[in-house]
Chain A
Amino acid sequence: MAMTRKQRRLVTIGLAGIVLAIAATLILTAAKDKIVFFYGPTELKTMAASPGQRLRIGGLIEAGSLVKSDDLRVAFRVTDGTTVLAVAYRGLLPDLFREGQGVVAEGVLESDGTFRADSVLAKHDENYMPKEVAEALRKQGVWKGQKNGATP
């Protein structure tokens, strides 16, 4: 009870400072380690990503490239019209996974240049084109926008 109003205010401000410092530290550390960058196949090739770094890649699944094996191993190629990237994955593919459709995969780039994905995403809308993929393809001049993209 000996504290004056000023001292109390200081305690409050100090407390706020501590919590904010904790929060800021957590956010900044996480921003360095936990954020995953997205690349199209061409970008990935030109930037020479270090193997082992977590990445997201996206593009169109190249027609005729999908190979499924018995133990749920899948290999396919992703293209942006210019560059082709081989992707290996073990697991279940999403409903919308189709050759010629857009896809986003997250994983690491192996030293042999294949991309080892641990998750493959395609979203649950028939006309959906992942935004990043649309962007990457637009850069390569393949994607023509929603209207032309819809199949008859």
Chain B
Amino acid sequence: MLIWLPIALLTGVAVLAVLLPLGSRSKARDEGGDVAFYRARLTEIEGDAARGLIEPQDAEAAKIEAARFLLAAERSGPDEREGAFSLGRRRGAALIGLVLVPVIALAFYGVLGAPDRADAPYAEQQALLKTSTDIDSLMLRVEQQLAAHPDDVKGWQVIAPIYLEVARYNDAVKAYLQLLRLKGPNAADFSGQGEALVLAAEGVVTSEARQVFEQALALDGTQLRARYYSAIALEQDGDRVGALARYREMLQGLPDTNGAAGAIRARMAALIGAAEPSGQNAMIAGMVAQLDAKLEADGSDRDGWIKLMRSYQVLGQRANAEDALVRARKAMASSSEGLAAINAAAQELGFGN
């Protein structure tokens, strides 16, 4: 592959950097380092004295001292006496350069490197992206547009429902929050935010979502989505009668052909449909029962317990949900972290404590 050529080249340079000095035959420099240093100092003192920078008696004292050090340095002689030449030593050092450098480098790079990966500069990646038309890249383009211009209302309006569609509920919440920031409080976007919150909580109308729907309804009492989810909230609280009343109310203003009307009727049917334990509900009930049995056998699955509580809540079986909470607490007694999670979930679902 192409990359191995420059890698070989770089390695060659590194090896050469070690071998070159080893090959030189020159002797040690004869510096007489100390002697020169103290001589330089003597001239320096004389120069300073001549220019009147230091008092004559100071200069004399300094000179005497420097001279003393100079003498000592001359007596001890140059320190740079050379050791005996040894071919073995140079070979050893050369071996370090010739073998160890490439081995260390290639071993580390072999483990950590990715020689087959090409560069991927942004501009190139963008060009690749432009040519594709799938939903993901379309969304990405909108997202980039929004990152650059976070105040683009239209962009947020386009992307928010798409987020709901592709189940990116948390992003949908953020998108609706942006819309609320830009457009000011309005019923439609509050409803959208609420719906996203509900979907993010696996269908449970959390207390946070309920507050958002209340805000929507305060602005516009006819907002259908907000009314629909508020009714579901009642359902989940176990207030079947209240929920049914709300659904009926909603149907009154709707033409039969409206799609929402169908959804509401189905919901009502299911509510009344203790009489109709077939279809989806029955299937869910079956799955819940299975989960329940599993947790009874092995109670260590924290998320399982939360799911079970939620499921009973969604099925409107509050008594069962509360029973699940008691059992979960017992099972989690040894884990303070698990207990906290269970309690938090229970609080979110609106019971416990």
Interface residues of A (CB under 8 A from B): 81, 141-144, 148, 152
Contacts and interface: CB of A to CB of B under 8 A. Distances in A.
B341 to A, nearest CB: 6
Contacts of B336: 141
B337 interface: yes
Contacts of B340: 81, 141-144
Contacts of A81: 340
Contacts, number: 14
A148 B340 CA distance: 11
Q: Which of A143, A144, A152 has the most CB of B within 10 A?
A: A152
B173 A152 contact: yes
Interface string B310-353: 00000000000000000000000000110111000000000000
A56 to B, nearest CB: 24
A139 B206 CA distance: 28
Interface of B: 170, 173, 200, 336-337, 339-341
B173 to A, nearest CB: 7
B239 to A, nearest CB: 24
Contact of B170 (A142, A144, A148, A152): A152
A75 B186 CA distance: 31
Contact of A148 (B173, B200, B341): B341
Nearest to A137: B340
B200 A152 contact: yes
A141 B170 contact: no
Majority secondary structure, B binding face: helix
A81 B340 CA distance: 9
A141 B341 contact: no
A25 B74 CA distance: 50
Contacts of B173: 152
A81 B344 CA distance: 11
B189 to A, nearest CB: 18
Given A144-B341, A152-B200, 10 more contacts: A81-B340, A141-B336, A141-B337, A141-B339, A141-B340, A143-B340, A144-B337, A148-B341, A152-B170, A152-B173
13 contacts: A81-B340, A141-B336, A141-B337, A141-B339, A141-B340, A142-B340, A143-B340, A144-B337, A144-B340, A148-B341, A152-B170, A152-B173, A152-B200
Contacts of A144: 337, 340-341
A143 B341 CA distance: 9
A143 B337 CA distance: 8
Indicate the member of A81, A141, A148 with the most B CB atoms within 10 Å: A141
A152 B176 CA distance: 14
A152 B200 CA distance: 9
Nearest to A143: B340
Nearest to A140: B336
A63 to B, nearest CB: 10
Contacts of B341: 144, 148
A144 B339 CA distance: 10
B65 to A, nearest CB: 15
A19 to B, nearest CB: 29
B206 to A, nearest CB: 11
Contacts of B200: 152
B78 to A, nearest CB: 30
B305 to A, nearest CB: 15
A139 to B, nearest CB: 9
Contacts of A141: 336-337, 339-340
A123 to B, nearest CB: 23
A42 B202 CA distance: 35
Contacts of B170: 152
A143 to B, nearest CB: 8
A81 B339 CA distance: 12
B168 to A, nearest CB: 11
